[in-house]
Homo-oligomer: A and B are copies of this chain.
Amino acid sequence: MNLQELETPALVVDRSRMEANVFRMRKRMNELGVMLRPHVKTAKCLEAALACTGGKPAPITVSTLAEAEFFAARGFTDILYAVGLAPAKVAHVLDLHRRGIDLTVITDNVEMARLGGERARAAGIKLPLLVEIDSDGHRAGVRADDPLLIEVGRAAVQSGCELRGVMTHAGASYDCRSVGAIRAMAEQERARTVGAAERLRAAGLPAPVVSVGSTPTATYAERLDGVTEVRAGVFVFFDLVMAGISVCRTDDIALSVLASVTGHQREKGWVLVDAGWMAMSRDRGTAKQPVDQGYGLACTLDGKPLDGVIVSDIHQEHGILSHRSGDPKRMPDLPIGTLLRILPNHACATAAQFGEYHVVRGGSEIEARWRRLD
């Protein structure tokens, strides 16, 4: 079957690109002597996860317990749930443990460490826990130099958790504007998180695991001394946000949305397509970058970018393509029914709008369909 036979919109993965992306990241981690614990939240797909783990189940990172269930049911037993635990999820976490899943949770506060540990202990389970470190001020976590770090670690141990160490996500790396800035962010992420582990150890608390990660910092880190594992997710597909900060090239982006041309507003230079935000998502991650890609960059059916043709506005089931310059004369002729492939700003957000991937290898021949966790 060919992409030309699909009902649009549909989600497409170019397997050649995906495999090249994975190869490079695995090679880097090997060279840096650190385990890759891929974040499966981007693809939420067995085949993509196995590509990242060398074909067999291995340690992974998830962002929801639904992902944990999906991968537990497919043979993955070592899972880091890398979003701050909530009381409402403890029972489910314990249930996964009862079924033999080594699920590590994270928190940045004493209350949750205590509550999690105590409920687990009451169930006869030693809950594995990492303390979340705020290495860049962008979201959750306790700062490495905050006395709270030791308090959280101590509360975890005292309440019966298995304190495994520390983790961070340097999400601020997405806002870096140069490779030099990403390198500096990677070193900050490493140094602060290793420092946090050393402070826990100095306080007599265990911290065997030092987990860091983001695709930008994983791509450009120069050293990872003291780090035991790296989590990265979006590298499997890449996207326009990553291309915009030189973490990949546009030609590395493995994910696209197949769309049909449904109409024109020729005076305005608009081409209407059937990929709205239900397909692309509302993510505007390139809005603050030097090159704003709107809601996505249009390519031909075989994946070649149409120079400057972006999704400039979007509705639930409609996308409006126009030339970046706004000049109607610079729009190519795209007759009704033309099939395009639109590269996403943010692979995680766009993939989340679909239930399956149509897999091609370079061209437009579909070699497989991969299920995605809804």
Q: A7-B88, A83-B317, A88-B8 are in contact. Are A111 and B282 (CB under 8 A)?
A: no
Q: Are the C-beta atoms of B317 and A64 separated by less than 8 Å?
A: yes
- Chain A residues 237 to 261 lying within 8 A of chain B, measured CB to CB, are 260-261
Number of copies of this protein chain within its complex: 2
Q: A349-B282, A374-B355 are in contact. Are A139 and B86 (CB under 8 A)?
A: no
Segment at the interface with B among A181-189, A223-231, A333-341: A333-341
Q: Is A92 engaged at the interface, CB distance under 8 Å to the other chain?
A: yes
Q: Is A272 engaged at the interface, CB distance under 8 Å to the other chain?
A: yes
Q: Is A32 engaged at the interface, CB distance under 8 Å to the other chain?
A: no
* Interface size of A in residues (CB-CB distance below 8 Å): 56
Proximity bits, A335-362, B CB within 8 Å = 1, else 0: 1110100000000110011010000000
A353 cross-chain contacts in B, Cβ below 8 A: 352
Q: Are the C-beta atoms of A63 and B260 separated by less than 8 Å?
A: no
Question: A282 vs B83: C-alpha distance in the bound complex, in angstroms?
Answer: 19
A336 cross-chain contacts in B, Cβ below 8 A: 86-87, 109, 111-112, 115
Question: A370 vs B368: C-alpha distance in the bound complex, in angstroms?
Answer: 33
Q: Is A129 engaged at the interface, CB distance under 8 Å to the other chain?
A: no
Q: Are the C-beta atoms of A111 and B335 separated by less than 8 Å?
A: yes
A111 cross-chain contacts in B, Cβ below 8 A: 335-337
A337 cross-chain contacts in B, Cβ below 8 A: 86-88, 111-112, 115
- Chain A residues 200 to 222 lying within 8 A of chain B, measured CB to CB, are none
A374 cross-chain contacts in B, Cβ below 8 A: 355, 374
Proximity bits, A81-116, B CB within 8 Å = 1, else 0: 001111111001000000000000001110110010
A92 cross-chain contacts in B, Cβ below 8 A: 7
Proximity bits, A300-333, B CB within 8 Å = 1, else 0: 0000000000000001111010000000000000
Segment at the interface with B among A18-26, A48-56, A262-270: A262-270
Q: Are the C-beta atoms of A83 and B274 separated by less than 8 Å?
A: yes
Proximity bits, A127-147, B CB within 8 Å = 1, else 0: 000001010000111000000
Q: Is A277 engaged at the interface, CB distance under 8 Å to the other chain?
A: yes
Q: Is A281 engaged at the interface, CB distance under 8 Å to the other chain?
A: yes
A88 cross-chain contacts in B, Cβ below 8 A: 6-8, 260, 337, 339
Q: Is A151 engaged at the interface, CB distance under 8 Å to the other chain?
A: no
> A109's contact among B63, B263, B283, by CB below 8 Å, is which?
B263
Q: A63-B316, A272-B140, A318-B139 are in contact. Are A87 and B260 (CB under 8 A)?
A: yes
A63 cross-chain contacts in B, Cβ below 8 A: 278, 316-317
With A89-B260, A107-B263 given, can you name 16 additional A-B contacts, CB distance below 8 Å? A6-B88, A41-B317, A63-B316, A84-B263, A87-B260, A87-B337, A107-B262, A112-B337, A132-B263, A140-B262, A140-B272, A140-B318, A171-B315, A281-B281, A282-B283, A316-B348
CB<8 Å pairs between A and B, sample of 26: A6-B88, A7-B65, A63-B278, A83-B262, A84-B263, A84-B274, A84-B318, A86-B260, A86-B262, A112-B263, A112-B337, A134-B265, A139-B272, A139-B315, A139-B318, A140-B262, A140-B265, A140-B272, A141-B263, A277-B283, A278-B352, A281-B282, A282-B284, A282-B349, A352-B353, A374-B374
